């Protein structure tokens, strides 16, 4: 190669090196601005924009690892309270306010289960109102053991009463308030029942059979229900408040009556003697029970309450 040719080749190689170096510098500037640290990369048309995680979206950074548990389920459901009254499973001796997906409970048996607890609303900061954070599913029934309870016959009255020292409603079983409902027993006010039940050491019970169900003998009467509740009878061993029926405290239940606080009512009801074979009922229980037939009038109270 002549000296002139060598000079031209060297000049070409130098120009290529300079262009390569300039390209690397420009590429680095496109990725990151040294002054601000802000990403300056230009997205191409149709590129997917970043998604803002809001309510209901899945946050993949949240730990949604499930837990495997082994639990014991009791032989009968028990009445419980949450957003509404219902019958709950008893799990490890306490109320279980959820259901176990895939598990069919049969009263009279104690179960040992392997279950999975998992996040029912992954990625959400809070679950929907009245919903639990977790859900449960059955993995395996480890054992199912018959539980021998005490089988007995009982009578159930035509109207419920307030449970002792509370505002809850109790069935009147053999003339006494029973706080826990009977698993499998669908109660209808206005009927007298003869039933056979099985009671367990846990305090729960289940229906074995309905021996007899007959309309209760009652009479139609009209009563007035006051707008406020008051302290109950002075000699009654209770602390809950009473409604006022015909100007007297009434520690009982008017079945199927959706009473509104602050209103005075005139009602047509069916009235039942809850203790027809006794001269006097127990001091903490009412003599009579009622079932609503018709609301005759509803008037706002004309004066503020003197009690609760």
271 with 238: CB under 8 angstroms? Answer: no
Q: What pLDDT is attached to residue 236?
A: 54
164 and 207 within one domain: yes
Domains of the chain: total: 3
Decide if 141 is inside a domain.
yes
Q: What pLDDT is attached to residue 79?
A: 83
Q: What pLDDT is attached to residue 212?
A: 97
Q: Could you tell me the residue range of the domain that residue 261 belongs to?
A: 219-300
Decide if 12 is inside a domain.
no
Q: What pLDDT is attached to residue 4?
A: 45
Q: What pLDDT is attached to residue 271?
A: 97
Could you say which residues of the chain have pLDDT below 50? Answer: 1-12, 14-63, 308
Going by C-alpha positions, the residue among 158, 180, 157 that lies closest to residue 169 is 180
CB atoms within 10 A of CB 239: 10
Q: Which of these three, 95, 122, 146, is where a domain ends?
A: 146
pTM above 0.85, yes or no: no
Q: What pLDDT is attached to residue 133?
A: 78
Q: What pLDDT is attached to residue 206?
A: 94
294 and 224 within one domain: yes
pLDDT tens readout for residues 279-297: 788 877 889 999 999 999 9
The rounded distance, in Å, linking the Cα atoms of 210 and 168 is: 24
159 and 200 within one domain: yes
Decide if 92 is inside a domain.
yes
Going by C-alpha positions, the residue among 299, 298, 301, 295 that lies closest to residue 267 is 295
Q: Which of these three, 161, 191, 215, is where a domain ends?
A: 215
252 with 286: CB under 8 angstroms? Answer: yes
Decide if 177 is inside a domain.
yes
Q: What pLDDT is attached to residue 42?
A: 32
């Amino acid at each position: 190669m002549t000296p002139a040719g060598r000079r031209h080749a060297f000049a070409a190689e130098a120009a290529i090196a300079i262009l390569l170096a300039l390209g690397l510098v420009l590429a680095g500037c496109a990725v990151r601005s040294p002054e601000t640290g802000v990403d300056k990369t230009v997205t191409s048309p149709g590129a997917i924009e970043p998604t803002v995680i809001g309510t209901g979206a899945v946050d993949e950074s949240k730990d949604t690892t499930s837990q495997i548990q082994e639990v014991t389920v009791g032989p009968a459901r028990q009445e419980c309270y949450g957003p509404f009254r219902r019958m709950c499973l008893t799990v490890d001796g306490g109320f279980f306010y959820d259901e176990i997906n895939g598990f069919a409970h049969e009263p009279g048996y104690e179960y040992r289960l392997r279950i999975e607890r998992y996040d029912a609303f992954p990625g959400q900061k809070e679950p929907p109102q009245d919903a639990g954070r977790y859900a449960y599913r059955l993995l395996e029934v480890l054992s199912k053991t018959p539980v021998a309870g005490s089988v007995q016959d009982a009578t159930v009255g035509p109207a419920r009463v307030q449970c002792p020292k509370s505002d809850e409603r109790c069935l009147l079983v053999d003339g006494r308030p029973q706080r826990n409902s009977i698993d499998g027993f669908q109660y209808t006010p206005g009927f007298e029942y003869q039933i056979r039940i099985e009671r367990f050491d846990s305090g729960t019970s289940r229906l074995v059979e309905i021996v007899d169900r007959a309309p209760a003998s009652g009479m139609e009467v009209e009563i007035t229900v006051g707008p406020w509740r008051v302290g109950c009878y002075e000699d009654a061993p209770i602390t809950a408040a009473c409604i006022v029926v015909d100007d007297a405290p009434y520690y009982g239940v008017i079945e199927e009556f959706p009473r509104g606080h602050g209103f005075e009512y005139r009602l047509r009801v069916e009235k039942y003697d809850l203790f027809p074979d006794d001269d006097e009922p127990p001091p903490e229980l009412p003599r009579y029970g009622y079932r609503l037939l018709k609301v005759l009038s509803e008037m706002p109270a004309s004066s503020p309450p003197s009690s609760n």
